[in-house]
Structure 1
Amino acid sequence: MDSANIVVVSGLLIGLVYGSVGLLSGFCLLSSLRGFWAEGDGRLVRSYALAIGVAVAMTQLLAAGGFVDIGKSIYLQSSFSAPVMFFGGLLFGYGMVLSNGCGSRALVLLGRGNLRSFVVVVVLAIFAQMTLKGLIAPSRIAMVGASQTTTTANSVPALLAGAGLSATAARMLAASIISAALIIFAFAHQAFRRSPGQIAAGLVIGLLVAAGWFASGYLGADDFNPVPVTSLTFIAPIADALQYVMLSTGSTLNFGIVTVFGVFAGSLATALLTGRFQLEGFQSPRHMLRSGGGAALMGAGGVMAFGCSIGQGLTGFSTLALASLIAFAGILVGTAAGLRGALRVRPLAAA
């Protein structure tokens, strides 16, 4: 196979594993924060922290070893709009609460037979395309143009290098401190240490992020047929996957599209094999409206933020890009607003 096909096959395999692990473990940022803030259960948030820590450590090791040039990714740009990134994160986080899960979680639940997630995936894809190339795109472009800044220090390692450290030393110092803090936070929780399934989920998903970088940045390296350097992310890929399903003639598969298909297939296969497959629908028209509205916010906000709770919360974070940290902060604030305080999303009354 040529490099492009290797990347496509790798994306499919990564998606299959993610879909299976996501279904078995319940890996999800919203569930993590809801359990941590509202229910006093810190296991899922520790699993998420472990995944970030592993992703940071492995990604930075790949970059330091010259296997992957993460500087070619969308996250490490010299120019970006911090206000738009944060605002997009806010929209995504609040939309995630309205829809009761992010785009990747919707794909996993769809594989389990949750028909509510079908609406979420389709609406998310439509609004993502509208924000990328459609009716919302001019407004997004105008906001970015009015607020973007240019900086030479676009990542935490770059900031340390500006203080006099070598590029490699800055990268290793930043990665060591951040990944160690996250991993220590995870394992400091006794209940998490007694949850082998959650530990395995955090480790596997963190490694999947690194695997995505390796597949696209190393296995896909070809000067004559280059592919984008990327890893797990779900907003633009879900939009591209829907477009591919409708207009596949003349289109080509890429890492993101096959990852989306792989997540759905991995979840479906696991649900069928474990007896977890069960058709589910909406409680009421209001429930459908809330889920669709949340999906619209996630699609538009995810494009503005250059990613989702996985695309920025794990993949972008693994690059230690300042823009990714800003977007992820927006996602956390938006999620907090949806879970707590005056703007919290209240439970729907039983149908």
Structure 2
Amino acid sequence: MDLTFLLETISEPWLLAFGGLVVGVLFGAFAQQSRFCLRAASLEFSRGTPNDRLPVWLLAFSAAVLVTQVLAAINEVQASEARQLASPQSLSGALLGGLMFGAGMVLARGCASRLLVLSATGNLRALLSGLVFAVIAQASLRGLFRPLREWLAGLWTTGDIGGNDLAAHLGLTSAMTIAFACLWLAAGLVFAWRARLKLWQAVAAVGAGLAIPLAWWFTSSMARQAFDPVQVEGVTFTGPSADTLMLLLSPPGNVLDFDIGLVPGVFLGSFLAALLTRELKLQGFEGGRSMARYLTGATLMGFGGMLAGGCAVGAGITGASIFAVTAWITLTAIWVSAGLTDRVLSGIETGRLQAAQ
């Protein structure tokens, strides 16, 4: 699609921010309506009790991977120019960060994107946890925790294995990656049928997933047509959350770009969806122990997400959709860590109940 008219009408930074806002609104609205949540999906899987959240995640994931790969095959998405593939990435960071993020999202009862979506509906627990997540992410990117992050990230990098492109390592063609995505879609449809997932929830899950290739397509189009260099990117929340926080705290802060529009867009989309469906509801913490658990989880996610180079969406779906090795490592680590953390917490809770009897 030719963006010349828009580029002649709107300045490049504002157009990038507006594009991020549109993608964010769509993702926020569909994620809120579908109840998209990696934490809930991973716990259903680890407990062996698949319900509606696992098929929602599978449908969103498969839609993102499938459409991204189709767009890449017809040269509408320049995946090779994305940060995940164009520059060296951290394998050690993907593994360690993914493990930390998975534990953190179980403690905080939601990943970074889920906290943002919930905060827009009136969940004050998610709002405070999201703010702590953004603060720790910023401290890990440019502040107090930066030396530790850089040291851990430098232990093992994609330079040691010859790049971060999983498709290239495995010799996969576009037809193979598209077929692979279709298998995931089929699995999502089977689980959706077994869970008797409502049609609108399934449609919304696919809609949330399609926000990822939309972001890839828009930033790729901007990179081809804009005068100034534009980073080809998808949807992620760790870096954008930190950047948005700094923009609010110290204006003018960072220049306008896609990421700056994304986070407010998700918040707005979720709020509007909840408003239209009458799902706005104020919720707070249930006590000091609950608050400590949420904030500990947010801290682990903030550092872990920045160390891994992405969150449950940024690495787990966006990076996976272009077959970045580190993204698949992070995604696997998140699933494993979430399941183990849930078992540990269940054991602790059982012990408390027994002690109280």
| Cα distance in 2, alignment partners of residues 267 and 34 from structure 1 | 23
Q: Of residues 262, 265, 268 in structure 1, which corresponds to 2:268? A: 265
What residue is the counterpart of 1:171 in the other structure?
173
Q: Return the alpha-carbon distance in structure 1 between the equivalents of residues 348 and 146 of structure 2.
A: 28
* Alpha carbons 2:30, 2:205 under 8 Å: kept: no
Preserved contact between residue 33 and residue 201 of structure 2 (Cα < 8 Å): no
Provide closer, same or farther for how the CA distance between residues 39 and 274 of structure 1 changes in structure 2, counting only shifts above 3 A.
farther
User: Partner amino acid for 2:183?
Assistant: A
Q: Does 1:333 align with 2:333?
A: no
Report if aligned partners of 2:134, 2:242 keep a CA contact under 8 Å in 1. yes
Partner of 2:4: none
From 199, 204, 208, the equivalent of 2:207 is 204
The 3-state SS of whatever aligns with 1:147 is coil
Contact kept, 8 Å, 1:109 with 1:117, in 2: the verdict is yes
Q: 1:219: Cα distance to partner? A: 3.2
Partner of 1:87: 96
Letter in 2 for 1:158: A
* Deviation of 1:39 (Å): 7.1
Q: Hey, what's the Cα distance between the residues in 1 that align with 2:348 and 2:80?
A: 38
Counterpart position of 1:235: 238
SS of residue matched to 1:277: coil
Range with bigger deviation, 327-336 or 242-251: 242-251
Structure 1 letter corresponding to 2:232: V
In structure 1, distance between residues paired with 2:230 and 2:224: 7
For residues 346 and 227 of structure 2, the distance between their equivalents in structure 1, rounded to whole angstroms, comes to 51
Q: C-alpha offsets along residues 215-270 of structure 1, whole Å, 9 cap, x if unaligned?
A: 11113434631221111111111111111111122532221221110111111122
Q: For residue 300 of structure 1, what is the amino acid of its counterpart?
A: F
Aligned Cα root-mean-square deviation (Å):
2.2
State the distance in 2 between where 1:344 and 1:65 align. 50
* C-alpha deviation, 1:335, in angstroms: 0.9
- Partners of 2:79 and 2:320 lie apart in 1 by 12
Instruction: Give the equivalent residue in structure 1 for 2:56.
Output: 47
| Structure 1 Cα separation of the partners of residues 86 and 146 of structure 2 | 20
Q: Does 176-185 or 28-37 show the bigger shift?
A: 28-37
Deviation at 1:56, TM superposition (A): 1.4
Letter in 1 for 2:184: L
Question: TM-score, normalization: structure 2?
Answer: 0.89
Aligned residue number for residue 152 of structure 1: 162
Bigger drift between 237-246 and 39-48 goes to: 39-48
Amino acid corresponding to residue 27 of structure 1 in structure 2? F
Say whether 1:310 aligns with 2:313. Answer: yes
CA distance 1:226–1:344, shift in 2 (3 Å)? farther
Deviations 1:281-329 (A, max 9, x none): 1011111111111000000000011111111111011011111111111
Give the corresponding residue for 1:140: 149
Closer, same or farther in 2 for the Cα pair 1:91/1:236, shift >3 Å? same
Residue identity opposite 1:182 in structure 2: W
Give yes or no for contact 1:60–1:171 (8 Å, CA) kept in 2. no
Identity %, equivalent residues: 33
Q: Greater helix share, 1 or 2?
A: 2
Task: Summarize the Cα distance change of 1:287–1:77 in structure 2 as closer, same or farther, 3 Å threshold.
Answer: same
Question: Cα distance 1:344–1:10, how it changes in 2: closer, same or farther (>3 A)?
Answer: farther
C-alpha contact 1:3 1:220 (8 A) present in aligned 2: no
Residues 82, 148 of structure 1: 8 Å contact kept = yes
Q: 1:341 Cα shift? A: 4.6
Of 90-99 and 333-342, deviating more is: 333-342
Partner of 2:125: 116
Which residue type is aligned with residue 8 of structure 1?
A
Higher mean alpha-carbon deviation, 35-44 vs 327-336, is at: 35-44
Cα deviation digits, residues 86-136 of structure 1 (max 9, x gap): 100000000000000011111111111011112111110111111111111
Matched residue, 1:130: 139
Q: Report the Cα distance in structure 1 between the residues aligned to 2:121 and 2:235, rounded to whole angstroms.
A: 21
Cα distance in 2 between the residues matched to 1:66 and 1:145: 33
Residue aligned with 2:85, SS: coil
1:245-284 matches, within 5 Å, as 245-249=248-252, 251-284=254-287
Verify: 1:185 aligned to 2:224, yes or no.
no
Letter in 2 for 1:51: A
**Contact 1:156 1:174 survives alignment (8 Å):** no
d(CA) in 2 for partners of 1:128 and 1:43? 31
Count residues in correspondence: 341
Q: In structure 2, do the counterparts of structure 1 residues 153 and 249 end up closer, same or farther at CA, with 3 Å as the change threshold?
A: closer
Deviation at 1:8, TM superposition (A): 1.7
Equivalent residue, structure 1, for 2:110: 101
Aligned counterpart, 2:7: none
Distance 2:253 2:53 in 1: 42
Cross-structure match for 2:23: 14
Task: Kindly provide the amino acid, as one letter, of the partner of residue 263 in structure 2.
Answer: V
CA contact (8 A) 2:21 2:264 kept: yes
